[in-house]
Amino acid sequence: EPEVTQTPSHQVTQMGQEVILRCVPISNHLYFYWYRQILGQKVEFLVSFYNNEISEKSEIFDDQFSVERPDGSNFTLKIRSTKLEDSAMYFCASRRLRGNPDTQYFGPGTRLTVL
Amino acid sequence: AQTVTQSQPEMSVQEAETVTLSCTYDTSESNYYLFWYKQPPSRQMILVIRQEAYKQQNATENRFSVNFQKAAKSFSLKISDSQLGDTAMYFCAFEAGANNLFFGTGTRLTVIP
């Protein structure tokens, strides 16, 4: 069964450094998402992406964040200058269609630790 | 604005018994979808079950079933014949207009052998 993959599984970085989190969505999916979960808290939406542009973003997704689909398979989340409060689990998700009772499939997550 | 409330932070159940996890939501949308996701210690988000709001029939997936009460905006998850592998965080989630998911704060379920 196809699945969403994410790399790395764990990333440790120094405050102020840039990080890029990578995701490979399911191959015939068209809509892509990033969510984050601070330890012990609920999962929060960051951004959705379709047709090579951002569809929707939350208040969390400020100028420090950006997303890109650099090729036909990868979907990346970049944090330009990490802060301590960016430490969280970051989940990528994808779905095939919009406007249907379709499901978002989640990747296994990347644990980001900012020191 | 959409909100999802899970009022039970923690629950436990004996192996082979039945447990029900509660979820309520608030929305002005008429067409939406509700989900239960499981997050085991590995922290991966796994879809357990999905319910379309326009369907009156409650969804079932093997040992998992929901009690969807649209008027009351309630969406509870029943796990029958609980197994040790069911130990996890369970998140209720809401989606309207095929957009992003709104999650509740989760219920930590422990299955006791």
Yes or no, beta carbons of B44 and A109 under 8 Å apart: yes
How many domains in chain B? 1
pLDDT at residue B73 in the model:
94
What is the domain-level CATH number for residue B41?
A: 2.60.40.10
Give the residue, A13 or A51, on which the prediction is more confident: A13
Q: Which residues of A touch B (CB under 8 A)?
A: 33, 35, 37, 41-45, 48, 55-56, 58, 89, 91, 93, 95, 97-109, 111
Number of other CB atoms surrounding residue A45 within 10 Å: 21
Yes or no, beta carbons of B50 and A101 under 8 Å apart: yes
Q: How far is A98 from chain B (nearest CA, A)?
A: 5
**Average pLDDT, rounded, for chain B:** 92
A3 is written with which tokens?
Answer: 């699945």
Q: Which residue in the block uniquely carries the two structure tokens 């210690």?
A: B41
A73 in helix, strand or coil? coil
pLDDT at A101 over 70: no
Domains assigned to chain A? 5-114 (2.60.40.10)
- The percentage of chain A sitting over the pLDDT mark of 70, rounded to a whole number, equals 96
Least confident range from A32-41, B74-83, B97-106: namely B97-106
pLDDT at residue B31 in the model:
83
Work out the average pLDDT over B37-41.
91
pLDDT at residue B100 in the model:
84
Least confident range from A82-96, B37-51, B61-75: namely B37-51
- Cis check: omega of the bond before A70, within 30 degrees of 0: no
A97 is written with which tokens?
Answer: 């269609």
Q: What is the pLDDT of residues B47-77, one digit of tens each?
A: 999 998 888 899 999 999 999 999 999 999 9
Q: Are B109 and B12 in contact (CB under 8 A)?
A: yes
Q: Which domain holds residue B85?
A: 3-112
- Cis check: omega of the bond before A8, within 30 degrees of 0: yes
The alpha carbon of residue B113 and the mean position of all alpha carbons in its chain are separated, in whole angstroms, by 23
pLDDT at A81 over 80: yes
Q: Where are the beta strands (DSSP E) in A2-103?
A: 5-7, 10-13, 19-24, 31-37, 43-50, 53-57, 65-68, 75-79, 88-95
pLDDT at residue A100 in the model:
54
pLDDT band at B98 (very low <50, low <70, confident <90, very high): low
Q: How far is B88 from chain A (nearest CA, A)?
A: 13
For A32, B49, B67, B72, the CA distances from A103, given in Å and listed in that order, are: 12, 10, 20, 24
CB-closest option in B43, B97, B104 to A89: B43
